[in-house]
Amino acid sequence: MKKQLIIIPFIFFLLILSIFLHLLTTERDPYEIPSNLLNKNVPKFETESLLKNERFISSKEFGNEKILVNFFATWCKPCRDEHEYIQRFADEQGIKIIGINYKDNPKKTVDWLNNLGNPYSNIPLDKDGKIAIDWGVYGIPETFVVNSKGIIKYRHVGPITHKEYKKINLLIEKIK
Amino acid sequence: MIIKRTFIIFGLICLIQFFSGYTFAVEPDEILENQQMELRARDISKNIRCMICQNQSIDESDAPLAKDLRILVRDLIKEGYQDKEIYNYLTDRYGDFILLKPPLKTSTYALWILPIIFLIIGIFIIYIHQKRSEKT
């Protein structure tokens, strides 16, 4: 009886070990924090728009069609890296993309878009970073997929890579 | 001699450690004029995680987002928000992860209760062991 009891800590140890092993081997980024806005309505906000004369009013933009929301800035190197994929979303998928320009210099943004191309249908300006806080953004670039009812279905933190591009493409086709 | 020197070095390290705990990142232009409000802001900031550095509070972090959140907390206090409402405002956007202390909820019961259970089991095992060795 006593000898049998000795096995219990070993089983316990193996159990913990297998949990650790599972967490180590499954592909995940421990620094990526799940968005609290998933399956919730997009935050309401109003701000200036970069290339348009009228103000950006979120309630007018969201809720009619699927939209990709991309937080970007010209000073952010990974934003430049992902730009070709953002452009491909616009060209190949024809999805409407709103680019929220985070704490940036509007002049530099215009130059940047002239050089690299403009995939965005509208560019609201987030001068003090308050819109980003409402979206739970903590490190740009961040990309959100919003469905035609104005509900956030997906969030990606960091630059869009080829793999992420394919993943988001599939998701865009799947959601309504 | 060596022992004495080791003690002095050890003491110095302890002293440095003791004072390093008091570093904070609040900049002069952020501080509110109303002292009571400022103290509330500092208290709240100490419980809010810097989402970029993750193991620091926004009170200690120099990250730009931490600064934005410190200013936001102060703006909300000025607008008349209660402490609980400010925490809710932040968790609505960033989830419970933004709180340095996880709240006691159904999903976190295990996290809070398991250590106590393990402690009780441990004490129980030591107690039994002690009893047995007394008998022999």
CA nearest B72 in A: which residue? A130
Mean pLDDT value across residues B62-75? 94
Condensed to tens digits (0 to 9), the pLDDT of residues A2-48 reads 677 788 889 989 999 999 999 888 877 777 777 889 999 999 999 99
B131 has a pLDDT exceeding 80: yes
Query: For the purposes of burial, counting CB atoms within 10 Å of the CB of A142, is it exposed (0-12), middle (13-18) or buried (19 or more)?
Result: buried
Task: Grade residue B23 by pLDDT with cuts at 50, 70 and 90.
Answer: low
pLDDT at A5: 77
**How many domains in chain A?**
1
B113 has a pLDDT exceeding 70: yes
The beta-carbon neighbor of A36 closest among B52, B64, B94 is B94
Contact map slice: A 42-101 vs B, CB within 8 A:
none
Domain assignment of residue A134, given as a range: 37-174
B64 has a pLDDT exceeding 60: yes
Q: How many CB atoms lie within 10 A of CB A94?
A: 7
Count helices and strands in chain B by DSSP H and E runs: 5, 0
B17 has a pLDDT exceeding 80: no
Percent of chain B with pLDDT over 70: 96
A122 within domain boundaries: yes
A125 within domain boundaries: yes
pLDDT at A1: 60
Residue A67 sits in a domain whose CATH number is: 3.40.30.10
pLDDT at B4: 83
A109 within domain boundaries: yes
CA nearest B95 in A: which residue? A36
A114 within domain boundaries: yes
Domain B25-103 has CATH 1.10.4190.10: no
Span of B50-54, B86-90, B114-118, B128-132 with lowest mean pLDDT:
B50-54
Cβ-defined contact of A139 to B97 (cutoff 8 Å): no
Q: Which of chain B's residues have a Cβ under 8 Å away from the Cβ of A135?
A: 93
If DSSP states are collapsed to H, E and C, what string results for A63-117? CCCCEEEEEECCCCHHHHHHHHHHHHHHHHHCCEEEEEEECCCHHHHHHHHHHHC
Residue from B23, B104, B85, B87 nearest B49 by CA: B87
Mean pLDDT value across residues B61-82? 95
Interface test with A, best of B74, B88, B93 (most A CBs within 10 A): B93
Residues 6 or more apart in contact with residue B11 via CB below 8 angstroms: none
A23 within domain boundaries: no
Q: Could you tell me the strand order of the sheet in which A152-157 lies?
A: A125-126, A96-102, A67-72, A142-146, A152-157
Residues 6 or more apart in contact with residue B42 via CB below 8 angstroms: B24, B26, B59
pLDDT at B21: 57
Angle between helices A77-88 and A106-116 (to 10 degrees): 50
Return averaged pLDDT per consecutive 10 residues of chain A, 176 residues in all.
78 93 81 85 95 92 95 96 95 94 96 96 95 94 96 94 94 90
CB-based contact A160:A82 (threshold 8 Å) = yes
Structure tokens, B8: 């002095």
A13 within domain boundaries: no
A11 within domain boundaries: no
pTM of the predicted model as reported, rounded to 2 decimal places:
0.81
